[in-house]
Structure formats: C-alpha cells, structure tokens
C-alpha cells in the first residue's frame, strides 16, 4: 500500500569528492568502502519511494558489528532521526528534498573500531521492513585523534599529521654518535592493509567489545606482532641465516608483510626490532591511533629485573664471557602511541611505550606496554603495563664485578651509570630530521631529580648497585671512529694518569663482531698490552685493525664492539672503556627519469658500485615506491 515508506536506495557518500572522506581525513585510504572516524558526524542519503513526512513516517539506520549483535553490548546500534528517540549514536535529518533524505550520524567517541554493516529499517503497519545485506554499504569506523571525546585525541596539528597521516618515515639505528637512517614505507593507506590490521585482532580472538579501547588494542597488538605464543605476524631471527625467508635488513615497508600475513594466515619470516616497530606503527596509524617509532641507543636487556647490567671480570680484569648474561643492545626500537590513561592517576596519559619485539614475557605472553612515558620519567613504575622493563632499558647501570676465583663471590669494581639509554630519538614531525626525546624518558644525568627518580623506582623493586667503588686515578677513553666496511683502521686507546705517581696498567683489549643486540658472534682481536704512565701524563696506544681480521666474520648490521678493561698494578683499581663501531655500508643511488605525470611511465635506476676487492654473491635488490610502484625485487647471483 502507498501509505508506508519504501526504500529505493542507500548511498554511503563514500567517494573522495563527497562530504565524508575529506572531513574525516580518510581521503588517503585505498578502499571501496566508506571510512570514518568516531566521535564525528558523517552523512548518508536514503532515497524513498515518496517524500519523507516526519510526523507520520518512522525509519532508522542500523549498524551491526560481529557475529551476535546485541544492543546491550554496543554491537547493534539503531540510529533514529526522531527527536524523542535517543540512540547511542546521534542522528539527525540534514536535508530532505523530494524523495531523498540526507541523514547525519555521529558514532559515539568510544564506540567499537572495525567494520560495521549498515541497514535501513522502516516501521509499517505490518511490522518492520529492513534493507537486505549489501556489502557495498559496509562502513569502517576508526579511532579519531581529531575528536576531543576520543581517548586518542591529540591536540597538535603537526604531531597528528605526522603520527596518523604520514605513510613514510625514518627509523634511526647505528650508534648515538654515528647514526644511520633507514627509510620505511608504513603504507597504512594501501589497499588491503586496513583489513589486514582488523584480521590481526580476529586472529587474536580479541573480543569485539574490547576493540574500542585503545589501551587494549595496543596491548593486544604488541603480543600479536610477534609469532611467539599466538601465531602472530612476524618471526624474529637474529641468527644470520635467513634461507627460509626474507632477511630483516631487506624489507623496505610494511605493506608486503601485512598483506602476506592476512592472505597466508601464517607468520612472515623474518624480523628484528625495527621491523616489529615499523609494522606495529603501520597497524596503529592505520586504525587511527597516533604512533611513532623511537630508537633507544645502548638499550639494556636485563635478564633478572634489576637495574643492573652485570659484566663479570676474572681476577686479572678480563671479561668472563660465560658468566656475563645481560646484554646491551647497540640500539633498540619500540613504539610510542598517544592516548589517555583513565586506568592510571592523573597526568600519565599522553605518549605510551609499546614494544612488539619478543624480549621478555608479560603476564605470560611476549608483549610489552602500553607503559606511560611520563610515569617512567618519574620512576612511578608500579603502574601497568611493563613500566619496570622499559625503565631498565633506559636507566640501567653497567656494573663491572670482579670474581674471586676461590669462593666465586662478586665484588663491584666499577659502575657506569651514563652508558645505557644514552639517547632516545624519533623523527621530527613534517621533516626528515631527527629529534632527541631523551628528556621525555629521564632527567639529566647526575641531576637531583634523577636521584629522586631512581630512589622512587627502588621503592617499587627496581634495585641498583649501592656500592660506589672509588674512581680510578687513571682515565681510559676510546675516541669515535667512522669506518666503512672493508677498511683497515686504527683503534686508539687514550690513557690519562691524573695521580702524581707513576702507574702501570695491564690492559685487555677485545674486539668482537656483534649483532646489534649486543650478542657476540666472534672475537677477531685480542691484545694484552702493558702501559706505563708517568705522573700527570697522558699516553696513546694505537692498534692496527686489518679488514681481513674482521671481514670474514661479519654479520648483517655490521657492528664491531671493542671493550678494554685494565687493572692498575699499584692500586688494584679497574678501568674500562667500550666503543661500538658501526661499519658504514656502501651507498645505493636511486634516480628517477621520464615524465612525472599521471598515467605516464617513469623509470627508476638503482646504481651500486662494489667497493671491495672481491665479488659479491647472492645480492638482493628490493625497491618500492608508496603510491607509485608496488614492492619489486631482483636477485643477482
């Protein structure tokens, strides 16, 4: 009968030139569906068989997510435009012209994030008539860093632009005083990536009702990005043998990894810390949570939950490799995501550290965070999640112990409190430059605030070495060297005798090829010089390091680690110095030629000159261009 409304069409207004995508900053997503951010109005158009009469007609737009939708669980949301019917998502008639009604709908700022199904229902004398399921009307709802009511609201345009909308970035590695950059394509807007990110939560069997909570989403993802425990996204491999997968250093972006995971449904090989951090960054930005990759130089990986990285020396002052268990990573990358923390006391919202690299378990699974960076800075490490672990990564002391061969007791002989957490950096918003954010993690070294914080952390069970062995009156330093792979170079040890008596030092100098995790793969240099110092005099000791000594033993990430320990004969004091030499690899040059115009072909030329005296074998070249070219690779025997 003609009196009740009949629905002819539902238009989601999903085209980039229509009202929704530009307003919701989702114009960059490559998708066939409408994508909006919660806590902000979007519009759709319903065409009826006749003009809509508000006084007589009743209709609702319904949104459903998950397998068993329920109103009480927030998984079934009927939105009415009538003034007297309130729904969890506000609805209003924006315009009604002829047979077309434009409806404005505002998803609640804490609603579930994911893929919703859309229906329109009309009340008739014979019951409710509802549109059929139509996949083209599906709607993605994301977190909204632009909406004040959203827990991820970030009130800073530049930071928001960078941490939600930038699809490329730079990840820093190497050494704090000789830094290298690794460009990365996050690709959070690439076709299929959003679905892959939602698949990760499905694969984790994460309850749909938890998916509007940024804290839970970030914590779940920190577990799911590594394959330990739960068949997550990436398999870690620090062995140097990548026969059955892609070497961690070969990846150039996240897209390939995420699409590979969502289509094969099995973990992707292989990752190391920056790959975990980069793909985690894509996941967070894709869902709308502001995120950035940070790098901590000299990151302590503490095996026993104290604030000490223990280095054990034998009675002659030489490192005991079997008994030294803790490691210091030359650098370690993790993520920060921005969100309020209603579960913590005031003031601990903002940037939260999360880490997907499997180092230690948290509540039985390999995951870490979110831990409030502000709480870490102030030593308030009792708050969830995993703050003590992150606190130790940036605050550990390196303690050298001398082991008594008779009874095995350990005596602290030197404490270095400034080596670990030497510098924390991330990319500057809007430009390819780095920003030092060490001061967000800790107070200046040696300041009264720093002491207070360490005492505070101590109350919560982070113990440090109380003994303060007297400073030796001989100083030892190894100055910085910039070395290219394949170079011969000189290692310099600078000694300074500050006392007014002669000093004799027996020195052990060990040079090792190390993984960036600080784990030694092999020793290539070992020397035991004796140095005699006149009162108040300085001496330089120079050692030749030849490329043939280390080249055959190199592992990827090419780091050489020198450690010198010495025992002063007259006083029995121990002196130490450490230096990481990041070997610089030959540069690639990339040139683009041809017309830079839409639909015109261009050529990319990648050039590389082999600087070595030997042939390179099994060379893989990988290239990708976000938005212009999918990842391609070529193998040269």
For 183-204, what is each residue's pLDDT tens digit?
999 999 999 999 999 999 999 9
pLDDT digits (tens, 9 = 90+) for 269-300: 999 989 999 999 999 999 999 999 999 999 98
Angle in degrees, 0-180, between the axes of helices 193-203 and 273-287, rounded to the nearest 10: 100
Any bridge partners for residue 296, and if so which?
Answer: 332, 424
pLDDT higher than threshold 60 for residue 2:
no
CA distances from 620 to 252, 272, 605, 623 (A): 12, 18, 15, 10
Per-residue confidence band for 468, with pLDDT thresholds at 50, 70 and 90: confident
H helix intervals, 78-163: 157-160
pLDDT higher than threshold 80 for residue 326:
no
The closest alpha carbon to 422, from 444, 448, 401, 406, belongs to 444
Q: Write down the domain spans for the chain.
A: 7-142, 157-460, 474-582, 589-636
pTM for the full predicted model: 0.91
The closest alpha carbon to 295, from 193, 437, 432, belongs to 437
pLDDT higher than threshold 80 for residue 575:
yes
Per-residue confidence band for 1, with pLDDT thresholds at 50, 70 and 90: very low
Task: Supply φ then ψ for residue 311, to 5 degrees.
Answer: -115, 120
pLDDT higher than threshold 60 for residue 524:
yes
The whole-number pLDDT of residue 300 equals 87
CA distance 146 to 158: 12
H/E element, 449: helix 448-459
Any bridge partners for residue 37, and if so which?
Answer: 142
pLDDT digits (tens, 9 = 90+) for 151-163: 999 999 999 999 9
pLDDT higher than threshold 50 for residue 111:
yes
Fold match between domain 157-460 and domain 474-582: no
Residue 529 CB neighbour total at 10 angstroms: 14
Per-residue confidence band for 113, with pLDDT thresholds at 50, 70 and 90: very high
CATH number of 474-582: 2.60.40.10
Domain 157-460 in this protein, CATH class: alpha beta
Query: How many alpha carbons fall within 13 Å on the CB side of residue 67?
Result: 4
pLDDT higher than threshold 60 for residue 362:
no
Angle, alpha carbons 79-80-83 (nearest 5°): 135
- Residue 471 in marked binding region: no
Task: Supply φ then ψ for residue 146, to 5 degrees.
Answer: -95, -10
- Residue 450 in marked binding region: yes
Cite the active site residues: 273, 332, 355
The closest alpha carbon to 51, from 83, 19, 82, 95, belongs to 95
Q: Rounded mean pLDDT of the chain?
A: 90
pLDDT higher than threshold 60 for residue 63:
yes
Per-residue confidence band for 558, with pLDDT thresholds at 50, 70 and 90: low
- Residue 11 in marked binding region: no
- Mean pLDDT check: name the lowest of 18-32, 84-98, 511-525: 511-525
The architecture (CATH level 2) of 7-142 comes to: Sandwich (2.60)
| DSSP string covering 520-559 | EEEEEEEE--EEEE-TT-EEEEEEEE-HHHHGGG--TT-E
Largest CA distance in the chain: 111
- Residue 190 in marked binding region: no
């Amino acid at each position: 009968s003609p009196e009740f409304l009949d629905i002819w069409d539902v238009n989601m207004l999903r085209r980039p030139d229509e009202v929704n995508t530009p307003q919701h900053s989702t114009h960059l997503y490559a998708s066939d569906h409408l994508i909006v951010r919660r806590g902000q109005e979007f519009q759709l158009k319903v065409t009826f068989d006749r003009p809509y009469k508000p006084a007589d007609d009743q209709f609702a737009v319904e949104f459903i997510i998950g397998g068993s939708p329920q109103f009480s669980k927030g998984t079934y949301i009927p939105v009415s435009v009538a003034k007297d019917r309130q729904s969890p998502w506000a609805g209003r008639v924006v315009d009604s012209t002829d047979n077309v009604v434009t409806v404005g709908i505002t998803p609640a700022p804490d609603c579930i994030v994911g893929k919703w199904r859309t229906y329109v229902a009309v009340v008739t004398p014979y019951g409710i008539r509802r549109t059929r399921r139509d996949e083209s009307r599906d709607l993605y709802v994301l977190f909204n860093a632009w909406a004040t009511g959203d827990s991820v609201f970030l009130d800073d345009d530049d930071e928001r632009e960078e941490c939600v909308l930038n699809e490329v970035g730079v990840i820093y590695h190497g050494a704090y005083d000789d830094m290298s950059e690794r460009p990365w394509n996050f690709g959070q807007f690439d076709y299929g990536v959003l679905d892959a990110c939602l698949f990760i939560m499905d694969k984790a069997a994460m309850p749909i009702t938890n998916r509007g909570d940024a804290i839970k989403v970030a914590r779940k993802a920190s577990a799911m990005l590594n394959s330990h425990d739960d068949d997550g996204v990436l398999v870690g491999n620090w062995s140097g043998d990548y026969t059955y997968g892609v070497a961690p250093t070969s990846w150039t972006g996240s897209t390939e990894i995420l699409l590979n995971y969502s289509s094969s449904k099995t973990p992707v090989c292989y990752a190391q810390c920056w790959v975990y951090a980069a793909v985690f960054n894509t996941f967070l930005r894709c869902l709308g949570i502001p995120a950035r990759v940070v790098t901590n130089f000299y990151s302590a990986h503490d095996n026993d939950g104290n604030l000490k990285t223990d280095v054990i020396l034998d009675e002659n002052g030489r490192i005991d490799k079997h008994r030294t268990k803790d490691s210091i990573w030359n650098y370690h990358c993790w993520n920060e995501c921005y969100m309020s923390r209603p579960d913590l006391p005031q003031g601990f919202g903002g940037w939260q550290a999360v880490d997907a690299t499997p180092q230690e378990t948290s509540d039985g699974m390999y995951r870490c965070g979110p831990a409030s960076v502000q709480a870490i800075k102030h030593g308030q490490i009792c708050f969830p999640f995993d703050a003590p672990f992150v606190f130790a990564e940036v605050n550990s002391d390196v303690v050298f112990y001398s082991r008594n061969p008779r009874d095995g007791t350990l005596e602290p002989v030197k404490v270095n409190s400034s080596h670990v957490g030497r510098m924390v950096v991330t990319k500057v918003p809007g430009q390819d430059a780095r920003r030092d954010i060490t001061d967000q993690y800790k107070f200046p070294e040696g300041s009264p605030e720093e002491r207070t914080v360490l005492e505070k952390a101590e109350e919560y069970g982070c113990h440090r070495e109380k003994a303060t062995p007297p400073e030796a009156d001989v100083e030892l330093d190894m100055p910085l060297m910039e070395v290219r792979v394949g170079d011969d170079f000189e290692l310099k040890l600078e000694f300074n005798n500050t006392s007014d008596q002669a000093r004799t030092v027996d020195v052990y100098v060990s040079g090792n090829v190390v993984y960036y995790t600080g784990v030694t793969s092999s020793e290539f240099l070992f020397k035991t010089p004796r140095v005699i110092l006149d009162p108040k005099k300085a001496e330089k000791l120079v050692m030749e390091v030849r490329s043939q000594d280390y080249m055959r033993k190199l592992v990827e990430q090419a780091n050489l680690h020198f450690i010198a320990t010495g025992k002063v004969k007259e006083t029995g004091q121990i002196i130490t110095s450490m230096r990481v030499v990041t070997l610089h690899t030959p540069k690639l040059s990339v040139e683009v030629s041809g017309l830079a115009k839409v639909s015109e072909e261009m050529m990319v030329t990648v050039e590389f000159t082999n600087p070595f005296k030997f042939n390179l074998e099994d060379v893989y070249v990988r290239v990708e261009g976000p938005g212009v070219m999918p990842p391609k690779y070529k193998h040269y025997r």
